[in-house]
Each structure stands twice: as structure tokens, then as C-alpha cells.
Amino acid sequence: MALEQTWRWYGPSDPVTLQDIRQAGATGIVTALHEIQNGEVWDIKSIEKRKRLIEWNDNQPIPVTRGLTWSVVESIPVHEDIKQGKSTRDNYIDNYIQSIRNIGKAGIPVLCYNFMPVVDWTRTNLNLQLEDGARALAFDMVDFVVFDQFILCRNGAKEAYDGNLIKKAEQRFESMSSEQKYELEHTILAGLPGAEESWTLYQFQEKIDEYKNIDDNTYRKNLEYFLKKVAPVAAESGVKLAIHPDDPPFSLFGLPRVVSTEKDIEFILNIYDSIYNGFTLCTGSLGVRPDNDLEGIVKKHGSKLNFAHLRSTQRDEYNGFHEAGHLRGDVDMYSVMLAILKEQRKRQGVYRPDHTIPMRADHGHTILDDLTKNTNPGYSAIGLLRGMAELRGLELGIERSGAVFSN
């Protein structure tokens, strides 16, 4: 029983077309209405129009299906007022609920979202050159401290890092040209696809200041408040929630972090105990922490694993990392894949109608022709195609070996 192979598509302006995705062998589309502003309702008409575009080619004398299904929404961003627990949050929660009802009506079964404050996923370099000439996304701690301490000049930054790291960052800062400094700033604040908001330095500092009195505990309560209202509606609407882990899975800029470890995930799943309140297993995000046992998480919480982002990272000496090949790096993809396939079998065994788990290869390297093309960092066609092909082969090999039936 195969996993559902999906592909993240950034909508009509994505340089990767729906036909490319079909040719890559995916059958599921993961996307969002990026044009709808954060906090607004996703109206049913816009959802249905995008769904039609994904699933049908209407530019033919008779419409034909494309062989693709919109299977996951990634993401409907959670408004900052909800994250900060402001008095205006209920209004935004009502909008979120309405959006969930609407995607449920349209028949899209999974919603991936995150609860990271201020910034979505964060990298310091979108073009790290690997020894074979491929380009990869990377999070370099020294560069990060350069930004935090010497470009943003955040209060409290200096105390947050060890002296050695600060010294290294200072040396690097002094050796950087102003273009390099700008590039670093831009990469952190505005560089990544899917992150719906971007800030100027000044706005960014203001945003961080808004979190002055919000520690992990308060932030967790804000998530709990949100989920207590939203999860029952998701269940009613047939939409499985899939919270995405923090990327990277540790605090940035002194901001709270509540989706970085197995314990965090456990807390979230217990807020509303139902398969509709689940998580996205992002092996790359969780895998950055050596204390996260990925296989163990699947074994323990598999019934609520609603979506899988499969990728691997390679850690470096300062808690930084770069995106490794999908079957390389620190993630033991074999054991994760085996655990996911076992979970799928288990679901079939109890006749869960939603036994098929959607997965997508995440964050490919930029390789071959894509090196000279305009691409979304981490989402160029050929690198993701390579990743997906490797994962597909791994999956088939495991299925055929019979290992899914072992204990």
C-alpha cells in the first residue's frame, strides 16, 4: 500500500507547472491561496476555483482530468494576534474556523499549519555550494548571530550566545561586504517561499518586542486556546489538522518555541484527542535535534500523523545545519519510512478510510538546468524530483522486502 506522493505547488506563478508535477509522478497537490491576506477568510468560491484549476484541464474541447488532486492545504497562516493572545484574537479565530469549514466543503482532507512566532521557516543561506556544485539551503549559526547581534542589534542578543560564537560572528561581520550583509538580512527576513509575511529591520524589531512578555508557557496557552476552538470544527468538517514543527526546532531571537520536541507534540495532541488534531512529521525540522527520536515519534503517535515532509539535514558543530540529500545526512530515512509504512498497514487493519498518508519530498538541492533558472529556493523541480524518486524507491524496496510485517 503506497503512500500518497504529493508535491508543493506555489500556485499559478510557480515556475514548476502542474504538468511538470504530474510527470514527476506525484498525484497529490499541496498548496495554498497565497493571495489571500493573513487573517482573512478563504471563501468557498476561491477554493473551488483553485481546485478546479489543479484537477481539470479546461483548455481542451472537452475538459480532461489532470490526474492530480488537491490533497493538502499548506498553509493557512495563523494570525499574529492569535499567537500573541491579543483581545482581537477571537475574530481571527472565527475567520480561521470559517476557512476550515470551507476547505472541508471543498473536500480537501488535510490542513498543515504552523505556530512559529513572527517568522516562518528560517535559513541564513539559500545557495550553499556543495562539493558537487549543487546548491542547498543552510542555517549557519555564525551567520545567524552576525544578523542578530551586529545587523539587527537586538537587545539581549549578546547574552544569548557563548563568547566563542560571538567572537566568530564579529570576525565574520567585519569581513563581510555590505552586499553580503544585505543578502543575509534579506534571506532571514524575506527570503523564503511560503512564508507569508516579510519585514523590514525596524518592523522586525517591533514584532519581536511584542513578545517581551510571552514566554513558552504563555505561548503554549495561546496555542491551546486556538486549538480548543478550532480542532472540534476541523473534526466536524472532515479536515485533519497537521501542525508543522518549528524550523529550526529551537528558539530564535529569544522568541518562544512550542513545537520542537516529542514532548511538545504530545502536549498538542492531548489538547483535543482526535485524529483530526494531528501533526506533520517534518523529518528535516525535527531531525535537527539529536534528541528527537523520529522513528519513536511515528511509533507512538502514528495514528495522528496526518502528513509527512520527508527530507534530511546534516548538523554542524554549532547547532547549524544544511539540507542534505534525502537519503543522506542525519535522518535515518529507512527506519522512518518503515515506521510510516507500518502505521499505514495498521490503519488498513482497522479499516480506517483515511489510511493513506500523504507525503512530499521536501527541500531539494538545486541541480542541473535549475542552477541557471528562476526557482523557488528548495523547491526547484529537478532536485525535488530526485528526492521523490529516491524516496519512492526506498518505499518500494521496503514494501517488497516484507519488513513492514516484522515487529
Residue 322 bears catalytic tag: no
Where do runs of H (alpha helix) occur along 192-322? 201-209, 216-237, 262-271, 283-286, 294-301
Q: How far is the CB of 332 from ligand DNO (least distance, A)?
A: 20
Q: Give the span between the Cα atoms of 152 and 41, in whole angstroms.
A: 34
Q: Name the active-site residue from 264, 363, 365, 370.
A: 363
Q: Name the active-site residue from 282, 322, 365, 370.
A: 282
Q: How far is the CB of 257 from ligand DNO (least distance, A)?
A: 13
Regarding beta strands 240-244 and 277-282, do their DSSP bridges make them parallel or antiparallel, or are they unpaired? parallel
Q: Give the span between the Cα atoms of 154 and 151, in whole angstroms.
A: 8
Q: Name the active-site residue from 14, 211, 244, 326.
A: 244
Q: Give the span between the Cα atoms of 372 and 387, in whole angstroms.
A: 20
Q: How far is the CB of 363 from ligand DNO (least distance, A)?
A: 6
Which of 50/244 has CB closer to ligand DNO? 244
C-beta neighbour count of 155 within 10 angstroms? 12
Residue 362 bears catalytic tag: yes
Residue 186 bears catalytic tag: no
Where do runs of H (alpha helix) occur along 106-200? 141-145, 157-160, 163-175, 178-190
Which of 259/341 has CB closer to ligand DNO? 259
Residue 363 bears catalytic tag: yes
Which of 140/362 has CB closer to ligand DNO? 362
Which of 78/152 has CB closer to ligand DNO? 78
Whether the CB-CB separation of 305 and 352 falls below 8 Å is answered with no
Q: Name the active-site residue from 79, 301, 309, 322.
A: 309
Q: Give the span between the Cα atoms of 8 and 280, in whole angstroms.
A: 14
Q: Footprint of ligand DNO on this chain (CB under 6 A)?
A: 74-75, 112-114, 120-121, 194, 244, 309, 362-363, 378
Closest CA to 245 of 196, 278, 214: 278
Q: Name the active-site residue from 120, 143, 362, 370.
A: 362
Q: How far is the CB of 197 from ligand DNO (least distance, A)?
A: 12
Q: How far is the CB of 120 from ligand DNO (least distance, A)?
A: 5
Q: Write out the catalytic residue numbers.
A: 244, 282, 309, 362-363, 379
